[in-house]
A and B are shown apart, each in its own frame.
Chain A
Amino acid sequence: MAPSTDGPWRLTWRRLRRDRAALAGGLVFALIALACLAAPLWARHVAGTGPEENHLTERVVVDGVPTDVVDLRGTPIGPTWSGRFFLGADSNGRDVMVRLLYGGRNSLLVGLAAALGTIAVGLLLGLLAGYHRGRLDAVVRWALDVIWSLPVVLVGVALGTALALGGLELGPLRIGADSLAIPILVIAVVYVPYLARPVRARALALREREFVEAARAQGMGTARIVFTEVLPNVAPTLVVFLPLLVANAILLEAALSFLGAGVRPPAPSWGTMIAEGEDLIVSAPHLTVVPGLMLVATVLSLNLLGEGVRDALDPRAKVRIGR
């Protein structure tokens, strides 16, 4: 027998490495994330302005000609492809590139945090329901049904609106109205059923596997069995879902912000930028096109990575998310 000691994870990694589309996706996403992280650097050293600073009444030199940042009809300048106003300005005279990068931070932060929140709750619920079955499972399934029935965007919007004025107050827990925690929480909760269901199905199937019985026969306690025997076999499901969850969380955040129920102005987010740009789409289409392209690039790269991971782990798995 060939002396190979390749574990299942290493085999997966090898298969993933051969998938160029997935690697490209991962690379692009990493670059976008890095760029957004470096937002303050760009703001300070290249653009010389912050994301919320207005320059309504200023003038800027473009191709040797001094131009109004925002002209008399309210049309802001387009991309200058130079340090200041690299991608132009918006109706308030703010630097689009700077806002794009800062907005990316918010969008990515909300997306990632929400995805992690979903995984934390979804994993716990799925494992509990799948492994314990019985009444606990029935309750969890019913709770998931309830959340699943709620219209995603509408609930996000509802919560965002309801909390808009005074923030959240639940006993000792208090969150301000402008806090990013609200969209993060909303999105995290809304996606829990998408993850909890597959995790539950997996845990249910694993529970019947003989190696779990063997662990019980050895006298292992439930907690230990769930952690050492079941969890490593549920992990592939999580790994597949992570990029997809982040991608969909980012899209949902953009949708909520677009409707005014997510990130609150004047803080930038790709969604709010698109909303603001929509009013001026006739005279300044770049305001809508640019943040949208960033969104698409980010989500697409994550989806590519997600597909690649799924194919590497199990070419026959079916994964579905998002509306």
Chain B
Amino acid sequence: MGGSLARFALRRLASMLLVLFAVSVLVFVIFNVLPAGDPAVRMAGKVPTEAQVEAIRAEWGFDDPLPVQYLTMMRKLLTGDVVSYFTQQNVVDEILKGLPRTLSLAVGAAVIWMALAIALGLYTALRAGGVADRLLGALALVGVSLPVFWLGALLSHYLGYRAGIFPGGGYVPLTESPLQWAWHLVLPWTTLAVVFIGVYSRLLRADIIETLGEGHVRTARAKGLSERRVLTHHVLRNSLLPILTLWGLDFGAVLGGGAILTETVFDLQGVGQYAADSIGQLDLPPVMAVTLFGAFFIVVLNTLVEIAHAALDPRVRLEGGSRR
């Protein structure tokens, strides 16, 4: 039945293009329409000179009507022709430099949080109501309540600086030394993963408990299947699906800018930190670029996740499907 999947994918892709367009317009509105004052002055950064401001106005076309301004912005961003007036560096180059670091952080954390969340979720679901379940549930709740940046700061200070077990911050490229690369990332991975483990293990637990009560699980047992097979083929297979979908979305969000806090605290010099530093300097072009590319990435990943979901769950392919 590949036909229904292909049709679904096409529908999603078409929708994706529209959303991308809307997102780009939104970014434009946020940066150029909403704020009061002269956009050229804003772009120029903290201490602009008259000449700089004039140059910027001409380059970005701030005297043109809004739709033309939008097109200019999109053209510059998509061709990589954006420069930070504060640092004089090409924004897209800086983003590309920071990308491997952000990727290292996001991918590592995502794998860790997912693995642990599945293990914890399954464990607590099967022992629901027991002591272990309640304890782990309490821990999960605490985990969800922790501000990521605070946890990072504490971990970095106490386990890094004070105890000296892990490095307090910094990044070592994978190509230089895989061991050091991982060692430097343990604390950031932990920081980022803690919150998500809390959320996902509870979600999975609830999902599994609900699935356990469903008709097809009872049928599976009535067929005489072993408990293990019932769990893997009929419970997990059905429960994991929505969780994996959400995981894809969150992973995209982290990569698209959600890692900004962790990167800043651990000084990983990734894309997020680049944006954070620029904010501190009120340097707009980098922030604008990171926002746009981050959003684009999220939209594309969202669409891919939805298509993957449809590939794994045939019911979703029907018109309307099961919306979140």
Q: Contact residues of A with B, CB < 8 Å?
A: 141-142, 145-146, 148-155, 157-170, 174, 197, 201, 247, 251, 254-255, 258-261, 271, 274, 278, 281-282, 285, 288-289, 292, 295-296, 299-300, 303-304, 307, 316, 318, 320, 322-323
Contact at B154–A288, with CB atoms within 8 Å? yes
19 A-B pairs with CB atoms under 8 Å apart are A142-B15, A152-B258, A153-B260, A154-B260, A160-B279, A161-B282, A162-B30, A162-B31, A162-B284, A197-B324, A258-B149, A260-B280, A281-B153, A300-B142, A307-B141, A316-B206, A320-B203, A323-B195, A323-B258
Residue of B30, B150, B258, B282 near A159 (CB, 8 A) is B30
Residue of A174, A303, A320, A322 near B36 (CB, 8 A) is A174
Contact at B302–A259, with CB atoms within 8 Å? no
Contact at A151–B294, with CB atoms within 8 Å? yes
- Nearest-CB residue, chain B, relative to A248: B144
Contact at A168–B36, with CB atoms within 8 Å? yes
- Nearest-CB residue, chain B, relative to A198: B324
* A226 CB → nearest B CB, Å: 21
Contact at B35–A166, with CB atoms within 8 Å? yes
* B299 CB → nearest A CB, Å: 5
B52-60, B90-98, B249-257 - interface stretch: B249-257
Tell me if B26 is interfacial: C-beta within 8 Å of chain A. yes
A290 CA / B18 CA spacing, docked (Å): 46
On whether A320 and B34 interact (CB within 8 A), knowing A153-B258, A162-B284, the answer reads no
Contact at B30–A259, with CB atoms within 8 Å? no
Residue of B36, B150, B291 near A155 (CB, 8 A) is B291
Tell me if B295 is interfacial: C-beta within 8 Å of chain A. yes
* B274 CB → nearest A CB, Å: 12
A288 CA / B210 CA spacing, docked (Å): 41
List B contacts of A255 (CB < 8 A): 147-149, 261
Q: Contact residues of B with A, CB < 8 Å?
A: 15, 18-19, 22-23, 26-27, 30-31, 33-37, 41-42, 141-142, 144-150, 153-154, 157, 161, 195, 199, 203, 206-207, 210, 246, 250, 253-254, 256-258, 260-261, 264-265, 275-276, 278-280, 282, 284, 287-288, 290-291, 294-295, 298-299, 302, 323-324
* B130 CB → nearest A CB, Å: 16
* Most central of B36, B154, B282, B323 by chain A CB within 10 Å: B36
On whether A303 and B295 interact (CB within 8 A), knowing A316-B210, A320-B199, the answer reads no
Contact at B207–A318, with CB atoms within 8 Å? yes
List A contacts of B15 (CB < 8 A): 142, 145
Contact at B23–A165, with CB atoms within 8 Å? no
A152 CA / B148 CA spacing, docked (Å): 14
* B259 CB → nearest A CB, Å: 9
A159 CA / B246 CA spacing, docked (Å): 26
Contact at A169–B298, with CB atoms within 8 Å? no
Contact at B154–A167, with CB atoms within 8 Å? no
* A250 CB → nearest B CB, Å: 9
A267 CA / B254 CA spacing, docked (Å): 29
List A contacts of B161 (CB < 8 A): 282
7 residue pairs, one from A and one from B, having the closest CB atoms: A166-B37, A154-B257, A169-B36, A151-B257, A292-B150, A300-B145, A166-B36
A146 CA / B30 CA spacing, docked (Å): 14
On whether A292 and B287 interact (CB within 8 A), knowing A152-B258, A153-B257, A318-B203, the answer reads no
Residue of A150, A153, A158, A251 near B287 (CB, 8 A) is A158
On whether A278 and B34 interact (CB within 8 A), knowing A149-B23, A154-B275, A307-B141, the answer reads no
* A269 CB → nearest B CB, Å: 12
Contact at B276–A259, with CB atoms within 8 Å? yes
Contact at A322–B282, with CB atoms within 8 Å? no
A145 CA / B249 CA spacing, docked (Å): 12
